[in-house]
Amino acid sequence: MTESATSETTTTPTYTKDENLWFDDGSIILISAEPNRRGFCVYRGLLARRADFFKDLSENASPDCSSVGAAQELELDDTADHIEHFLNYIFDPRYFTPMAQKTPLPVLYALLRMATKYLHQELRTAVVMHLHTIYPSTATPPAPKSFVDNRPNQAPGDSIDPLLYALRMGRECDVPRILPAAFYLAIQGDIMDCVRLAEKFSSDDASRLLRGREKFIAAATRAAMHESLPSPIPVTSYTSFGSSHMCRKYAEATDTRWASDLDVKEIFLGALYGKKRKASATLCTACIQKWEEDESAAFAQLWVSLPGIFELAGWESYTT
């Protein structure tokens, strides 16, 4: 970033004035990077109150950059869109309210990146809090409904995959704990979807995605075929299903269920949150209840193992 002062003798600007964020009485002009250079003439004092970077800039500014009647020009290496989102929040914090709206991923990325870079701690904290609702980030499995309701929100026409945004935010902005859930969401398509997605990433992340998918399938299969298959359970209280031989159908029902209800390409929420089942001629009510309890415990452990499945640091290692 470079600084220079404008004056009455300055040549024609090499940028386009932003239509909405240009105030004639502004004291600083933020200029976006190529190829679409836009200038945002705003108030240096307001920036300094909100973001520590601009506070430090004001305190250390040279005298010739603060002369009366001149607005300081500051060339940034950020895109115009990122600067615009950041300034919109600076002028009105209601522009982004964490967990109160479905904010598109490009906006979240822009806000988090700018907040991190320019030391706007309040905004960074708000975005990280919001991201944790999209990408559950603890060893405790999320509630099924909240996980579904808070899925990543893509902007209309945006061709960038949600996982790429998550990788950028996780690594560039130091929020690595969102990555296990981000990879988990990315494997929800069939194998060809994952192969096409993997082609967009580095070899390490492509391997992490594809190998992780196979390891998840294997782990989910083991969870569904849980080792605690029961011995016959007495069901004398059930007049409809009073014969304990029904319980011997447990393993057979598990095999059938894995082959139908939980197809291999449908390995996401169904794997962690199995469908509720009803008693039938295949399995009695008591066995169904035990099955669901065993399965729930097994899948909770699967969530704990999620970082390792994708070759990431364990939940306990994250502090952000």
Tens-place pLDDT, residues 131-187 = 999 999 999 888 776 776 787 887 778 888 999 999 999 999 999 999 999 999 898
Instruction: Kindly indicate the confidence band of residue 294, based on its pLDDT and cuts at 50, 70 and 90.
Output: confident
Reported in sequence order, the residue ranges of the chain that DSSP labels E, i.e. its strands, are: 2-5, 16-22, 28-31, 38-42, 72-75
Beta carbons of 66 and 72 less than 8 angstroms apart:
yes
Which three-class secondary structure state does DSSP give residue 74? strand
CA pair distance 7, 4, nearest whole angstrom: 10
Beta carbons of 302 and 220 less than 8 angstroms apart:
yes
Residue 271 has pLDDT above 60, yes or no: no
What pLDDT, on a 0 to 100 scale, did the predictor assign at position 95?
96
Tens-place pLDDT, residues 57-114 = 866 654 434 333 578 899 999 999 999 999 999 999 999 999 877 899 999 999 999 9
What pLDDT, on a 0 to 100 scale, did the predictor assign at position 229?
47
> Is the full-model pTM beyond 0.85?
no
Sorted by where each begins, the domain ranges of the chain are 217-306
Give bridge partners of residue 219 from the DSSP assignment.
none
Q: In what order do the strands lie in the sheet with 16-22?
A: 2-5, 72-75, 28-31, 38-42, 16-22
Q: What's the first-to-final CA gap in the chain, in angstroms? A: 28
Which three-class secondary structure state does DSSP give residue 134? helix
